Every structure is written in structure tokens, then in C-alpha cells.
Chains A and B, each alone.
Chain A
């Protein structure tokens, strides 16, 4: 198949899947699950078939429609988006296996709507990853926000709906209030919003306006959760855990940092931003978010909320790495998206497995749970180590590149931030690891439990294995992202 067909297929498969899931959901749940898994499998096939083209330096693209003169709905594959699409599609399959175990294990209601909206969200994610210009990106960015609302508010009780409104309110307000004006601004000064190697804004804006425009982009893309627009992320934890796992550790939040990285690399251009002092604040905002979110995480008693704040901090690693504005740090930012995804989805899978097996949600209830759920907690431990950045896990690899980028820029604040946050990560993850393995079992009598359903355990074992595997073999990812730097003028 030609790469153009593959791009269109990658966009339409999730939507077609959503339709089929909706239709088969009335017939039989088993059939519905088969459709979900088949759709995910097909999507992986299509997206990953694009990889060879990108490795060979190809940048295939298609244009669907020209909405206004110069403003098109168009798609184009480049290393960053390729990686994001490959990541999201790959983890969707694993996550679907997990969802089946989780949703059935907890007897959740409205499962058909759940799977339909999940597929739609993935379609929107593909659109974001493959977008060729700011307008197309924004289109799918909004679609992702709207299509995840039913997933977040799945439970439907007043408390959940209230949290889901915070989620929607912050994301929509920021995107319409800040991101959209930034995009229109860009189009009106540069005459285009196409993602172009080396940027499009040089010579069109200067001085403090650059910093302001950057601010509109960064806080407008609230999905990246740079403080103070991070509050939606803990609020979104009311969602069923598979949603938190794929969307709030991978697709949605990565869409945010992806947007920011893409804007820095392809709209501003790193050299232009580096030469413009008014853009310097972004680095400090990200560094502040890393440390502050880690401090907040330290005080959490609820496992999912702790993971949410840890995500806020880890996302700002990506933003900070991108804001160091050196070639190696951009590569580090891209690779950290990947590495964090493996580790964090494992942690969320584990949290969901614990909930399914025992209905436990608070840290204090987890004493000694390792003996009851050895596989789950082993995976949890691997995920936690990856968050801290300990070898042999994925987190180590990306931290290595970010640090290398920091040295390239002689940026010692970055160095200090990474060291401080590593210490903080260890301070909130290691006590949990100690507690689950070495303390006395706290499960009340009569509530004995074992591992979660097989599908859930299988999924988290896969992602834990990926976390380790990425440490051993990360060369393909580096090869891909190095192109990001190589194609710079």
C-alpha cells in the first residue's frame, strides 16, 4: 500500500471500528471485544507500516480539504508524529486486552459506549499525531477533548460528573481561549501554519511577542499540564483505570507535550527560540512544575492521584527538555514521551488491577499486597523504577539524553532540577515498593484476594516487559528521532 493510503487508513480505521463496535455491542459483548481487538490490530499494522518510509527519510502526506485559502486539513508524517502514532496505536492493543479484564471484572455499565468512545479517541489521537499543520492539529485536539469526556464521566454519579466538568472546562477554555488565538496569530503573521523544519515564525514576530505567543501555545495546550493548568489531570482520575492508563498516561497528555514540542521544533524553530531571550521563561516554568508536582505527589494518600501528580511532573520533563532548545534535548524530549508511556501505563494498569482484585485505592491499604499479587506488584516495581530513572528501565534512557542535552547547553539549572526530582521520585515511590513487599499484610480477614483477571495481568506484564526491553534496545527510537535534528537546516 502507498504511504498516502496508509495515512488515510490510520485515520479511518478507528472511526470505522467505533461504528462496528456500536453495532455489535447490541448483539454480543464477545463479538464487540473481538471487533475492538481487530481494529486495534489493523491500526497497528497500518501505522507501523509507515515506519520504513520515515526511516528512509520519506515524509509522505495527504491533503483532504482546503477550508480557507492557505488553511488545509492535511496530514504529513514526520519522526515525532510517527513515534507518537506508533506508540498510541501499539499501546491501544495492550490496553484493550486490559480493558476487557477490567471492565468485566468490575461489572461496569455502558461498556459499549466505553469501547466506542475509546476508538473515537484513538482516531482523534492519530489525527493529532499525523497533522501537517496547526489547524488540523487543533481540529483533532478538540475532538480528543470532547470524545474523552464520556470516558472520564463514565461512572455518572454527581461527584464524577463534577470532576469531569473540571476536566472539560479547563481543557476547552484553555484551547479556545489561548491555543486558538495563538494559532490564528501564527497564521496571520506567517501566512501559514504548516509544520516546517526550522520553523515558520522567524522574521515575523520578535521581542516580547515571541514569549507571549509561546505562552499562549504552552498554556493553551493544557493537555501538557504545565502548572497552573494541570488541575484537570488529577480531576480526570475519576475515570475507569483503563482510561487513566491509556489516555491520561499516553494519548491525551502526550498530545499536549507533543503539541508543545512540535510547535517549538516546527513552528518557532529551536534556533530562533534560542536566540530570543523572551522565550526563556518556559524552561523555568517547566522546571518549577517538575519540582512542585513531585512535592505534591509526596503528600498523596490515594494511589491514582499520586500517579496523576507524578504524570504532571514527568510531562514537564518533556517540556523542559524541549525548552532547553538543543538538538540532543529535543531527541531526549521525544524519547521521554516513549519511555514515560511504558512505565506509567504499567503503573496505572497495576493500580487498576489492585482495584479490580481487592477494591483497594489508598496507599495505606497496600501493605504486604505483594505476596497476594506478585506479578502485578513486580510490574508496579518496574514501573516505579522507570519513573525514578534507575537502570535497567526505560526511564534511564530518556533521562540520559535529557542530561546530555543539558550539558550541551551548559544548563546547570536543568541538571539540578533533574537531580532534585529524581530524589523526590524516589522519595514517593520507594516507600510504596517497600511497603507492598516487606510489610505485614493488612488485608482484613474475609476479604482475601489473589491476582486480577488474566487479561489485566497479561497486559501489565507486557508493558512491564516493554519497559525493560526499551532499556536494552532503544536504538530504533533514537534513529527515528535523530532525524528530527538532522533535517534541521
Chain B
């Protein structure tokens, strides 16, 4: 391992974080954006490097300042964190690349350096959560990313974003506090914050009441941050009123990072230690996942603002991810992690297409979008591809994770058949709500005839199409996400039979 490779986990967080204050000082037009993009691409490159390492079997463990774990601060990257790191840094880079024109419209020039600085803090906070091997540092990075994300969500000109962000802030803070309470209780009982160490030591105090309470607090707190139904109420408005590029970035990755922590705790720290945790975990989350799929999709059916429609669809998709995990089997967990990746692709692309659409259409209600595809065929064609991926049509990325999910459910016995029915019904509802948009855009005559509406800027379209084609690419060449997901699932399940 070269020295550079050795330092990659630290650089993953440090690079964007150190650049954030620099970006805040960059006044000249466009420079802040360029610097942010460079930092984000750098983070992506680091994530790719870490992924390669993780795939070749290296496990990155990094002791900050040379203090050995469990006493010092440890950073740790395995396949699971590499997978989510790819999602986070990829989503940020793509959203920045495509989003310049849109962000120029949404954020006034004088505030742009601060806005982009906050963006980098979100990125470094999310990356920090993923590389930390220490429960308290996860909390710290969670707060960094959350506080910064409140800024970027409210960073646009839409005043309705302010109440939405306030709700997001309150809920997010409650979630983080719950998590902190849980960590405090565990620290009280075990005297350690290092996750690996915690896993070993918790065994001695397992099934004492504080640990059980801690498990409850941590699960609920993280479920809140991950927008698990019915704790999702902050999500739709935050996504709807945020600047479009921010929505594309956060929708692809923010909730997944919280899910990452949730799965880490429930599978690594608790699973082998607490008696019956496997059952409690599944019995608690499986019904929520089913409800999320059904309720989220059902609301999306009747939603008329397409950003909010897609936001409710995200609530449902989080349900699929949880559903796979709640099967507590290798196949189920692989499906779940794979769906994290594939859903990020599909939903990110959808929001990017919406961003391109919003360049020309100010109002994103369905009825204002009638015939929009006649003006912007390329944008809407990309939307169709990503929509098919979200539905899970074969040949797209979304199909692969649905296939895995159904295969995993088949192994689960009688409950499995019920779950397959849920997945099928959810997919059918996705057909309907995506089709509503496609039909309005492609097959209805434009309401304001004669008006000249141009296609979105070419640079933006090119990136949107890149993302759309990635949906097809990862639907056909599935090796990378599949290996990562399977490897991560295997390591999460660890000693479980």
C-alpha cells in the first residue's frame, strides 16, 4: 500500500472539508462552483480508489494521529462503506456538473460561495459518517452534514423552503438526539465508542435494560433520519422546495447514509449479541417497510407536483431497501444494498431530468407540463429511461434489485409470498405514477400553443443523459454493484448462520 493509498480514508473527509472555507472566499463568478466540482470529483476519485481496494480484499483501517484503536479515533472502510461512498460522491459530482445553470438561477450570485461551501460540508459530513469506525464521530459528522444540508435546502429563492427546512431541522435534531442518547447509554455500559470494540464488549452486558433501551433509541433515531415510514414527514417538502440540483444530490444519497448507520448498528453491534434481536429487528421494520411501500406509492399516485410525487416515491423506495434487510438473510441484505445503489441511480436521474425541465417550466404541477416533451424531447426521454428503471423494467438497473428482492423473498417461506405481492403491487403503483407523468408530457397537447420553449442547455442535458445511460449500463453490466452488495452483505451478516 502506497502512502497515498494509506491516507485515502482520511483524505475522503478532509479534502472537501478543508476546501469548504476556501470556497467560501471565492468571489469571482463561477469560481466557487468550479472549485466545489473539483473537490467533489476528487472525493469521487478517492471513493473509487477505496472501492478498488475494498474489492481486492484490502480493509482500510486508519488510526487518526497514530493513536491505535480502540483508544484513538479509527477510520474504517469496507465494501459496505465503499458502496455508499460511491453513491454519495457520485451523486454530488453529477448533480454539480449538471446543476450549474439551475443553481445560478436558484441562488443569487453574492451568496453562491457560501452555498457551495455548505455543499462541500454536506459532502464531507456524509463521507465522514461512512468512514468513521466510531459511534460518536458518526454523530459529529451526522450533525455537520445535517446542519449544512439545512443550509443548502433553504439556499434557493423559494420561500416555501424555509418552513420545510424548519420541519426538517426539528425532526433531524430529534433523530440525532435519540441516536446520541442511545450512544450515551451504550458508552455507560461498555465504556467504548469504537464500533468493533463495542461489538465485543456489549456481549457481557447484553440484555440489560439500558442496552435494550439504547437499541430502541438508536433504531428509532436513525429511522427518523432515514425517513422510514411513518417518520418520513419531513422529507416530501424538503425535497420539493429545495433547489433542484440539491434535491438530485440529497435524494440520491442522504437517507441512504442514515440507513447505512442503522444497518451497521443492527447487524454488527446488536445482531450477534442481543438475544432475539434478529427477530425484533425484522418484526419491527418489516411491517414499516411494507407500509412504506404501499402508503408512499399510494400518495404518489395522487400527487400532482412532480417533485413531491418523486419524493413520496422515495419514501416507498426506502421501504424496499428496508424490506430486503428485514429478511435477515444474505440474499435479502444483498438485494437491499443493491437497491440502495440502483435507486440512487434512478431517483438521482429523475430529479436531474426534473431540474432540466425546471429550466424552462417554472411550475412543476402536472397540468402545467402537458406536452412538455414536444418542447424538450431529450429531457423527457431521459426521464422515461430513469422512470422505467424506478419501476424495475428489465434492461434497467432497477430491475436487477427487484429481481434479487423477489428471489430473496421466495426463500423466506410463506411470508415471502406476501412480500412478493407487496413488491408487485408497489411496482404496479410505480407504473401508474410514472406513467401519469409520461402520458402528460408525451401524449397530451401543449396547453400554451405557439409559445417557443427551447430544450435545456446542452451541457446539462449531456450529464442528465450520462446518468440515464448509467441506468441502462448497470442494468446490463451488473458486476460492480453486485459484488459490492454481496460482499457487504456477507460482512454485515458476519457470524450469523
> Among B391, B394, B410, B443, which residue has its beta carbon within 8 angstroms of that of A153?
B443
Mask for B426-446, Cβ within 8 A of A = 1, else 0? 011001000100010011010
Listed stretches A177-185, A280-288, A430-438, A465-473; interface member: A177-185
The reply to whether A138 and B406 form a contact with Cβ atoms under 8 Å apart is no
Q: Closest CB of chain A to B444's CB: distance in Å? A: 8
Interface of A is mostly: helix
Q: Mark A170-208, 1 if CB is under 8 A from B, else 0.
A: 001100110011001101100000000000000000000
Whether A65 and B406, one on each chain, are in contact in the complex, defined by CB atoms closer than 8 angstroms, is no
Pick the contact of A188: B392, B410, B476, B478 (CB < 8 A). B410
Give chain A interface residues in 139-154, CB to chain B under 8 Å: 139, 142-143, 146, 150, 153
Interface presence of B212 (CB below 8 A): no
Q: Are A67 and B407 in contact (CB under 8 A)?
A: no
Q: Tell me whether B354 is interfacial, beta carbon within 8 Å.
A: no
Q: How far is the CA of A181 from the CA of B417 in the complex (A)?
A: 10
The answer to whether A161 touches B424 (Cβ under 8 A) is no
Contact with A along B388-399 (1 / 0, CB 8 A): 000111110000
Interface residue from B394, B439, B482 paired with A135 (Cβ < 8 Å) = B394
Asked whether B424 lies within 8 Å of A156 as measured between CB atoms, the reply is no
Q: Which residues of A contact B406 (CB under 8 A)?
A: 180-181, 184
CB of B477 within 8 A of chain A? yes
- Using CB atoms, name the residue of chain A closest to B410: A188
* Interface membership of B418, Cβ < 8 A: no
B interface residue count range (under 10 / 10 to 19 / 20 to 34 / 35 or more): 20 to 34
Does A184 contact B410, Cβ atoms closer than 8 Å?
Answer: yes
Contact A184 B443 (CB under 8 A): no
Residues A65 and B477 in contact in the complex (CB < 8 Å), given A176-B428, A181-B424, A184-B403: yes
Contacts of A142 in B (CB 8 A): 393-394
A161 to chain B, nearest CB (A): 7
Q: How many residues of A contact B (CB 8 A)?
A: 27
A139 / chain B contacts, CB cutoff of 8 Å: 394-395
Residues of chain A with a CB closer than 8 A to B482's CB: 68
Query: Which B332-346 residues have a C-beta within 8 angstroms of A?
Result: none
Query: Is there contact, CB below 8 Å, between A67 and B476?
Result: yes
B227 at the interface (CB under 8 A from A): no
A168 at interface by CB-CB < 8 Å? yes
**Cβ distance A118 to chain B, nearest Cβ, rounded Å:** 17
Chain B 457-478 near chain A by CB (<8 Å), digits 1 or 0: 0000000000000000001111
Asked whether B428 lies within 8 Å of A173 as measured between CB atoms, the reply is yes
Q: In chain B, residues 351-403, which have Cβ atoms closer than 8 Å to a Cβ of chain A? A: 391-395, 400, 403
Contacts A143-B395, A172-B428, A187-B407 supplied; 11 other A-B pairs, CB < 8 Å:
A67-B400, A67-B476, A68-B403, A71-B403, A138-B394, A150-B442, A150-B443, A173-B428, A176-B391, A177-B425, A188-B410
* Listed A/B pairs (14) with beta-carbon separation below 8 Å: A65-B476, A67-B400, A68-B478, A71-B403, A135-B394, A150-B442, A153-B443, A156-B443, A176-B391, A177-B425, A181-B424, A184-B403, A184-B407, A185-B410
For the complex of A and B, 3 pairs with smallest distance between CB atoms: A139-B394, A177-B424, A184-B406
- Interface residues, chain B, with chain A CB atoms under 8 Å away: 391-395, 400, 403, 406-407, 410-411, 420, 424-425, 427-428, 431, 435, 439, 442-443, 445, 475-478, 482
